[in-house]
A and B are shown apart, each in its own frame.
Chain A
Amino acid sequence: MKAEYVTFVDSYADKLPPSVLTEVKESIPSDLTKSELTKIMEAVVLSYNTAKINPGECVGLVSAESIGEPGTQMTLNTFHFAGVAEMNVTTGLPRIIEIFDARKDIKTPMMEIFLKEPHHTNIDKVKELATKIKETKLSELVSEYSLNIFDQLLKIKLSKELLENYDLSTKEIVKNFKTKTKGFEISFTDYEIVFTQKSTKPEEIKELYNLKEKIKDIKVRGVKNIKQVLPVKRGEEYIVLTSGTNLKEILVLPEVDPSRTFSNDIHEINEVFGIEAARQAIINEVYRVIEAQGLNIDIRHIMLVSDIMCATGTIKGITRYGVVKEKASVLARASFETPIKHLINAALEGEVDKLTSVVENVMINQPVPLGTGLPGLITKMK
C-alpha cells in the first residue's frame, strides 16, 4: 500500500479506533484509486457510527432478552454421530446453560484434532493416530481373570483377537504395570500374565483381590480421558473427533496442528491457552449451538456475556457463585437467589448499597439509572 494512502487512512484516527484502521489497511486491494479509498473510508465511518451504542442503552438486558427468547425455541438436546454409539454431543439449551454456568464437569467433553500438512489428507495416517490416542484400559483386553487362593496368584488371560486388533503385545502391556504393582512378581507368556505375591502372609489374599480391581484401570495405551475417537472428513482434510478431552497431551504430539486443534471444555482451554482463548471459546461454543438450531442471534450479545464471564481473569459463570457474587449491590444480590444469606452477610459487614444499578432502584421505586432515568442536572440548584 502506498505511503500516501497510509497517511490518508491514518488521518481518520480521530473518527475510528486504531483496530479498525489496521483492519482497513490490511484489507484494501493495492490497485485502488484515491477517490475509491475516500468512499471506502466514508462508508467505514458511517457503519462504525451506526454500530455505536448510545449512552444509557441497557445492553445487558437486551443481550439477555436476545439470547433468552430464541432459547425457548430450542429443540434437540443431543446430537449423535452415526455409527458410534458412545459419541454424542450435548447441544441446545442444556449446552448453553452448561457454558454460561461455567460448569467444571461438562456432559460431553470432546475435541476436534486437526493434523499438520503431510498427514491431514492421508486417511490411514489419521486412523493410525486415532487408534494411538484412544485410551485403552487393561480390562478391555482381558478375556478371563482367575484368582488362585491356594497358590496366592492372579492369572490374567488376554484376548488374542483384541491384542492383534490393537496391535499390542503382552510385553508392551506389562511395561505399563511396573510401578503400580508393588509387592507382586510378574511373569508372562504370550497371552497370559501371572502375578505372584512376594510375601505369603495368609491375610493378604485381600491384597490379591485389590490388585485385580486396580489393574483393570491401568492404561495400556493412548492418551488419558480420550474415550472414543472418530476420524471424519472435513472439507479436503481428515480430522479426528474425540469424546473426552486432554489438550495438554494431544497438542504435543508431532502430527497434531496445535493452532487449529481445540476442545469444548472452556476450563481446559483457559488452563492451556489462557483467558483470552477461553473468552473466544465461549463465544464459539455458544454460537455453534445457536447456529445448529437455526436461530439468528447477533454475535455481539454473546460476546458481551463472554466478556463479563472472563473479565476478572478467571471464568465466572452466570450463577450466584459466579458473576452475581461480584455485584456491588446487596439488594441486587439478594433479589437473585438465597436472599437471606446475602442480607445476613451484608448486615455483618455493614455493607452500603449505593443504589447504582437496576434491580435495587426498582425495589425502592426510584428511577433506574438507564435511558430516561440516566441524565441528571450538572448545575447546582440553590
Chain B
Amino acid sequence: MAEVYLNSKFIGTVDNATHFIEEIKDFRRKGALSEEVNVYYNELSNEVYLNADGGRARRPLIIVREGKPLLTEKHLKQLEENEITWIDLIRQGVIEYLDAAEEENTLIAFNEEDLTPEYTHLEITKGSICGMATSLVPFGNYMPSQRLIIGSKNQKQALGFYASNYHLRMDMDSNILHYPHFPVVKTKIHDISDYDQHPSGQNMVVAVMCYDGYNMEDGVILGKASVERGLARSTYFRPVDAQELRYSGGLIDEISIPDKDVKGYRSEQDYRFLEEDGIIHPEAKVNEGDVIIGRTSPPRFLSSMDEYNLSAATRRESSVNLKHGESGVADFVVISENEEGNKLVQVRLREERTPEIGDKFTSRHGQKGVTGILVPPQDLPFSENGIVPDLIFTPHGVSSRMTVSHLIELIGGKVGALAGRFVDGTLFEGETEEALRKELLTLGFKEDGTEAFYDGRTGKKMLAKIYVGNMYYLRLRHMVANKMQSRARGPIQLLTRQPTEGKAKEGGLRLGEMEKDTFIAHGASLLLKERFDSDRTIVPICEQSGMMGFYDAQKNGKSVSPIHGDNSEMSNIEMSYAFKLLLDEIRTLGIYTQLNLKSKY
C-alpha cells in the first residue's frame, strides 16, 4: 500500500505502486494524460509522487522498450521529409519529457550500443549535457569543465550582429561588429540556431608564439594592417533621452533651445547642434559637455511673492549633455511619448570603435586576452607563403589551463580555410583531431600545424616552428574607451569637499582605509598628510572658547569669535573639511566641541 501525492498533496493510496506507475506512464504516452505529468516512486518511503505543476525543469529522452529505442529509422526519414515534427514524436510516445524526480526511477543510456533490456531511456544526443551557449564551443569535450563554462560565458559578451533591425532600435549600450563571420569551425548548434543570421566573431589567422613580451600574461597582439582593413571593428551605440516631466501646479518641462535669460544658461557654443525643436540634428559630431537635448524646467520653488512678479519666474536650464569622456555622432532621433503621455525624446549616438591597445579579445575556449600592441605588417612574423597572422596568442596560456580544444580548433580552422569547407566541432561528435591532421597533410602542410616563420624585423628565419592556423575570435564588449579615466584636479563633492567618485563624474580613485595603513606602516606620515590634503581648509579658532570663528565683512573681513567677538585671540588652524563638518554636526546636537590650541613648536 503506497501513499500517492499529487503536486505534493496527499490524495490517497494505491495497493500496487509499480503497476499504478506503469499505468500512469502508459496513459501519458498514449495521450490520455497530459505529457506534462511526471510520476516518481520513492521505494524507501513507499510513496508515489505525481507532479503536474509548473516550475519543474524537464528534458526530452527517447523511450526504450526491451532494449530497443522506439525512435526508428522510419521516424528519422519522416522527419527529414517534413512529414512529422517534434510534437508528433511526443504524441506517438516515442519521446517523452522527464523531470528531475522521474529521472530517479530511470536508467538512461548514453550510446545506442550500450542498450540492454534494463535501460528505460536513451539520450537524444550526447551533447545534451550542455546548454545552448555551451554547445557553441567547438570541441568542448577536449577541455576542463571550468574553462568550458568560462568559454560559454565569454560568448555572451561578444560583439556581433545581434539583430538585423538594429538601426531601428533604441537599445541601451549596444554594439555592432562590422563584417561578422560565420565560424569555420562550427558545431551543429550553430546550424540549428541560425548562427549565420547573427554571428558574433571573425575568423582570424592566429599564430601561437611570443612577440617581445607584448602578449605575456594573457595578452594578444593584433596586426595593425588587419585592424586598419576592418578587423574586429565595431560601432558603439549610446542612447541619450529626455522627458518633459509634469510638476504640481500644471507646470511642465519644455524641450527647446533654452532662452538666454534662463537660470543656468550655458553658452551659445554649447547649444550649437540644436535645431529649432531643441533636439540635436543627426550626424552632428558631439563631444563631452555638448548639449544633445535642450530642455528647461519650471522654477523649483514658487514663493508667494512670485505670483505678483510680472516677469514669469525664470525657468531653470535642465538640458541633457554628454558626460565626461563621452563622444559620438548623433545617429538617430525618436520623438514619442512615455507611459504618462509626456513627450519623450531619444537620441542615439554612434561611435566607431577601432580595436586599440587594451581592448579585450577571446577565443571560444575561455582564452581571453587584452590587446598589448598593434604591430605594423612589416614587423610581423610571416610564413613561407607570406601569411601574416592577424593575432598572436601566447603559448603560456594553454599549459596550465589545459584548453586542448583551443589547439584543435586552430588546426580545424586551418583545414577548413584551406579546403574551403566548414569543420564540425560538435560536443562529443566532432571531427577527430587525427582526421583533421591527415587532411592537413594532404593539403600540403605539416601534419602538426606548425610552419617555418620569419621575423619581420630582421628577416631571419625563426628557430622554432610556429603553430599557426585559423580561429574564430570574438571581440568582447569591454573596451578601454569606455573605462579609461584619469584625474589630477577636478570636481569635488558639495558636502564634504572631497573629490567626487566614479568615472562619469571625473572622480578620483579612493585611497582607502587599508591603503592608508600601508603609508603609516612605512612611517611616511608627512606623505600621507599630503595625500589627504584634498579637502584642506583653514578655519579661524577662538583661543578662549575653542569655537570656530567667522570672517566679519563689517570689520574688513577680520576673523571674530562667535562668543568673545573682537576680544579674543584668533588663530588660523588647518584641518580637513570633513573634520570641520563633523564638528559642525556634533554641535547641531547641542554638544560644545572645543578646540584647545597649543603652540606647535
- Contact segment of B214-222, B529-537, B553-561: B529-537
Report the minimal beta-carbon distance from B195 to chain A, rounded to whole angstroms. Answer: 42
Bound CA span A328–B525, Å? 21
Q: Are B517 and A364 in contact (CB under 8 A)?
A: no
Bound CA span A352–B546, Å? 12
The verdict on B86 contacting chain A, using a C-beta distance below 8 Å, is no
Q: Are B520 and A58 in contact (CB under 8 A)?
A: yes
Report the minimal beta-carbon distance from B526 to chain A, rounded to whole angstroms. Answer: 5
**Cβ–Cβ < 8 Å partners of B582 in chain A:** 363
Bound CA span A379–B574, Å? 23
Question: Which residue from chain A places its CB closest to the CB of B592 in the assembled complex?
Answer: A347
- Candidates A65, A365, A380; contact of B517 at CB < 8 Å: A65
Bound CA span A376–B533, Å? 21
Interface residue ranges of B564-601 to A (CB < 8 Å):
574-576, 578-579, 582, 586, 589, 591, 596, 601
Question: Which residue from chain A places its CB closest to the CB of B534 in the assembled complex?
Answer: A365
- Candidates A56, A365, A380; contact of B575 at CB < 8 Å: A365
Q: Are B526 and A367 in contact (CB under 8 A)?
A: yes
The verdict on A204 contacting chain B, using a C-beta distance below 8 Å, is no
Report the minimal beta-carbon distance from B368 to chain A, rounded to whole angstroms. Answer: 25
Q: Are B532 and A372 in contact (CB under 8 A)?
A: no
- Candidates B516, B523, B533, B578; contact of A370 at CB < 8 Å: B523
**Cβ–Cβ < 8 Å partners of A71 in chain B:** none
Bound CA span A186–B528, Å? 78
Question: Quick one: given A365-B533, A365-B575, A381-B601, are A372 and B520 in contact (CB under 8 Å)?
Answer: no
Report the minimal beta-carbon distance from B167 to chain A, rounded to whole angstroms. Answer: 49
Question: Quick one: given A380-B601, A381-B601, are A372 and B525 in contact (CB under 8 Å)?
Answer: yes
Q: Are A371 and B579 in contact (CB under 8 A)?
A: no
Q: Are A347 and B591 in contact (CB under 8 A)?
A: yes
Bound CA span A370–B523, Å? 6
Q: Are A373 and B525 in contact (CB under 8 A)?
A: yes
Q: Are B529 and A367 in contact (CB under 8 A)?
A: yes
Chain A interface SS verdict (over half): loop
Size of the A side of the interface (Cβ < 8 Å), in residues, is 28
Q: Are A368 and B525 in contact (CB under 8 A)?
A: yes
The verdict on A57 contacting chain B, using a C-beta distance below 8 Å, is yes
Report the minimal beta-carbon distance from B529 to chain A, rounded to whole angstroms. Answer: 5
Question: Quick one: given A364-B576, A365-B529, are A371 and B524 in contact (CB under 8 Å)?
Answer: yes
Q: Are B524 and A365 in contact (CB under 8 A)?
A: no
Report the minimal beta-carbon distance from A59 to chain B, rounded to whole angstroms. Answer: 9
**Cβ–Cβ < 8 Å partners of A43 in chain B:** none
**Cβ–Cβ < 8 Å partners of B528 in chain A:** 362, 367-368
When each residue 346-379 of chain A gets 1 if its CB lies under 8 Å from chain B and 0 otherwise, what string results?
Answer: 0100001000001000111111111111101100
Size of the B side of the interface (Cβ < 8 Å), in residues, is 28
Bound CA span A343–B578, Å? 16
Q: Are A363 and B601 in contact (CB under 8 A)?
A: no
Bound CA span A347–B532, Å? 27
Question: Quick one: given A61-B521, A343-B586, A347-B591, are A362 and B516 in contact (CB under 8 Å)?
Answer: yes
The verdict on A64 contacting chain B, using a C-beta distance below 8 Å, is yes
**Cβ–Cβ < 8 Å partners of A61 in chain B:** 517, 520-521
Report the minimal beta-carbon distance from B325 to chain A, rounded to whole angstroms. Answer: 30
Question: Which residue from chain A places its CB closest to the CB of B521 in the assembled complex?
Answer: A61
Q: Are A365 and B576 in contact (CB under 8 A)?
A: yes
Bound CA span A62–B596, Å? 32
Bound CA span A57–B591, Å? 36
Report the minimal beta-carbon distance from B415 to chain A, rounded to whole angstroms. Answer: 45
Question: Which residue from chain A places its CB closest to the CB of B580 in the assembled complex?
Answer: A364
Q: Are B520 and A371 in contact (CB under 8 A)?
A: yes
The verdict on B522 contacting chain A, using a C-beta distance below 8 Å, is yes
Q: Are A57 and B523 in contact (CB under 8 A)?
A: yes
Q: Are A364 and B575 in contact (CB under 8 A)?
A: yes
- Candidates B521, B525, B536; contact of A65 at CB < 8 Å: B521
The verdict on B84 contacting chain A, using a C-beta distance below 8 Å, is no
Report the minimal beta-carbon distance from A5 to chain B, rounded to whole angstroms. Answer: 41
Question: Which residue from chain B places its CB closest to the CB of A382 in the assembled complex?
Answer: B601
**Cβ–Cβ < 8 Å partners of B525 in chain A:** 367-374
Chain A to chain B contacts (Cβ below 8 Å), 10 pairs: A61-B521, A65-B521, A358-B520, A365-B536, A365-B575, A367-B526, A367-B529, A368-B525, A372-B524, A374-B525
Given contacts A347-B589, A362-B532, 12 further A-B contacts (CB under 8 A): A61-B517, A343-B586, A363-B582, A364-B579, A365-B532, A365-B575, A365-B579, A367-B529, A372-B523, A372-B524, A373-B525, A374-B525
- Chain B residues within 8 Å of A, Cβ to Cβ: 516-518, 520-529, 532-533, 535-536, 574-576, 578-579, 582, 586, 589, 591, 596, 601
Among all A-B residue pairs, the 10 with the closest Cβ atoms: A371-B523, A373-B525, A365-B576, A368-B525, A347-B591, A364-B579, A381-B601, A61-B521, A372-B526, A364-B575
